[in-house]
Every structure is written in C-alpha cells, then in structure tokens.
Amino acid sequence: MSAAAASIKGFDASALRSDFPALQQEVNGQPLIYLDNAATTQKPQSVIDALSHYYSHDNSNVHRGAHTLSDRATLAFEDARKKVVQFINASSTKEVLWTRGTTESINLVASSYARSVLKKGDRILVSAMEHHSNIVPWQLAAQACGAEVVPIPVSENGELELEAYKVLLDERVKLVAVGHVSNALGTVNPVKEITELAHKAGAKVLIDGAQGVPHFDVDVQALDCDFYAFSGHKMYAPTGIGVLYGKESLLEQMPPYHGGGEMIKTVSFEGTTFNELPFKFEAGTPNIGGAVALAAAVDYLQALDRTALAAHEAALMQYAHDKAGQFDGLKRIGCAKTIAGAFSFLLEGVHPADVGMLLDQQGIAVRTGDHCAQPIMKQFGIPGTVRASFALYNTFEDIDALFAGLAKAKTFLL
C-alpha cells in the first residue's frame, strides 16, 4: 500500500462501517463494496432509528395541533431546522427552507427568484459541468422571461475556466449557478472566488451543494453565496428531504413557490396574505420524519473529526489515482487539481455499462452513464463514464477490490 494509503490519525473508516446496516451484506455471493455514494449514501443506524422513532412515537402533523404528539413533532421538526442552521452557519432559521432535495431547491429559486427579476436580454451563467438539475430549471426560467442561459467553459482537465468566466460577467448577468463539487468529474470549484466575482458584477449566486456537504464543512456566511442547495440522501439521511439556504433579504422579496396550507396567514376569496419566513415557502404537510432523520445525520457527521474525514477521503482519492496510473487501458475523465468524492474513468475498448455489470457480479457497486451531465460528456466526446464515488465508510481495501474487479472485467471483455 502506498504512502497515500496510510491511516489517518483520528479516523477509522473500518470501524464506522459497522454503523451502516446495508453494508453488512453480500451481493452476488460477495461482500458488498459500495462505491456509488455520489448517487446516494447508505444510512447509519442512528438515522434509521431516528426515522423509526418519529413514526413509532411522535407521528403527527406540525404547527397546528392542540395535542401532545403534535407538540413533540413540531419541536423535533423545528429543532432539526436549528441544527441545519448551525451545520451550514446560516444566520437564522428564516434562511433555511425544507424541500424534497437539491432539485426542488434549485427549481424554487428559478421559479420564484429568477422569474421575478429576469427580463429580456438578461443572462444566467451556468458552468458546463453541471448536473441537469442545475441547468434545466434555469432554461425554463429564461424561456419564460426572454433571458439566456450561457455556459461557463470547462477545460479538458475538468476545471472551470475562471478567465473566461470573468469575461462573461457583465451587466447582463443576473445570476450565476455552479456546483460546489461536480458529480460527474469530482472537480471542486472555487465557489468563494466565483461568488466574489459575481457580486462585483452585480449578480446573485446559487451553489449546488449536493456533492459538497457530505465531504467538507460548509459555511454559507463565509462563502457569502445568496443561495445554497443540498440533499439529505447524499449526506447519510433519507431520500425526499433537502434544504435551500437563502439570504433572508432575498427570500423576503421572493413570491411563494407553492400555494396551500401552512404558507398563508389569511385566505379569503377577496385575497390571501402569506406567512412569514421560512413557512412562506413550505406549503402543505412537510416531510417531518425526513427532517428529523436529517438532523440525526447532521449529529452523526458532527460527532466525527471532519478534518480527519476530509483527509481520509483525500487519501482514498489519491490512492485510486495512483492505482489508475498503473492500470493499462484506464483513462481518467476529469483531472482537476482539486477533486472530491467522484473518480470517473473509462476502460479502453469497453462500454461503461459492461464494466458496471461485471463489477456488480463481483459485489462492487459503481455507477455508469452520463451521470445527468450530458453537456460535459458531449464536450469530452464520450457517452458516459464508470464512476466510483467514495464516502466516509470506504476503505483502501475497497479500492483494491475495485481494481481487482476491473482486472477481471478487462480479462473477460477484451
């Protein structure tokens, strides 16, 4: 094992694996090696227990009940919001909105903020490496307003071209949308610098943090971004729950996204008045259990040494890159200087789907395809990649197993 694979002081991924029930199984007669974390992470028992406890003991609707269960549910639900405020260092609970995930968070901003400020001739800048969820909502908003979505170029190494970005930033740009970390390439974007440059040009900034929050601390005030979106299921919480952070001054100006219960103060056929933040954007019965379980995921992450966790994941990535350099016929896709989470590659002469199938037969879970990032795949002239993506419970032995599996797949396919 290389020096990059040395144990990280204060962090033992092997010990943490026992916290995750789904990892304690065999797939196709082999111990599960789960390397599809950029798609969704496995859940620790504490998160599963939090969800189960809510439905077993506290299940009730929130905010309006006049009984004990509703009081307990409301307290747990709003305590979860407070934990998220602390987790990302928002200014107050007014700035943290519950959504179904990153996709809905971005759609909320595109539908409410963008459509209310855009006019004909305005521009939205979106990096060329984005997930479709950070492209399509802006296209819909732009089409409705006569605005234009303009891609920020990406280099052949998979890095955003900052000089080209600076040139694009003119008075026409009203909003910049960029991922904190690329789900397809693993590129970590310089989002603080991107934000500073946008603000100097008078533009607002939304950061897609779906792939950022699981891997390192996020401080929205330090970033000074206007919006930050992320999903629970990428950070060891359940699916169907997510967060939109927005600066209070912007959220106050924005019209409601959905109409219904909870987001109103008064309703009559003569007119309706809307609730205060954050409830103005939370129509209907929310995913209460999901929020409670997301808080448990925050607790789980916060109990770890996040610096050591980041160092462990960086060492995993370096180890994978070292082994890739020694593997004939393997081509990395995305070679940015700073990468987190995702290791994308191709085997010469082999379709990614075939590689994924043969790895699955060996109990190794990866993802294949375009990863909902067709524009960057088109730029690279490829249909997709094989993507191994890492989480806190992955080990160097997992990477050894991946490359052993690739060697077997290569023998079979070539």
Give the three-class secondary structure for 177.
strand
Rounded to the nearest 10 degrees, the angle between the axes of helix 288-302 and helix 45-53 is: 150
- The rounded Cα 237 to chain-centroid distance in angstroms is 12
CA atoms of 375 and 392, how far apart (whole Å)? 30
Task: Give phi and psi for 219, each to the nearest 5.
Answer: -125, 100
What residues contact 268, with CB distance under 8 A and at least 6 apart?
Answer: none
CA distances from 224 to 199, 331, 379 (A): 9, 37, 31
Beta bridge partners of 151: 126
Beta-bridge mates of residue 206: 177, 227
Burial class (CB in 10 A: 0-12, 13-18, 19+), 15: exposed
DSSP-assigned letters across all residues of 253-293: HSPPSS-SSSSEEEEETTEEEEPPTTGGG--SS--HHHHHH
**Beta strand pairing call for 204-208 and 173-179:** parallel
> Which one of 145, 225, 335, 372 is the catalytic residue?
372
Catalytic residue status for 372: yes
Active-site annotation, residues: 372
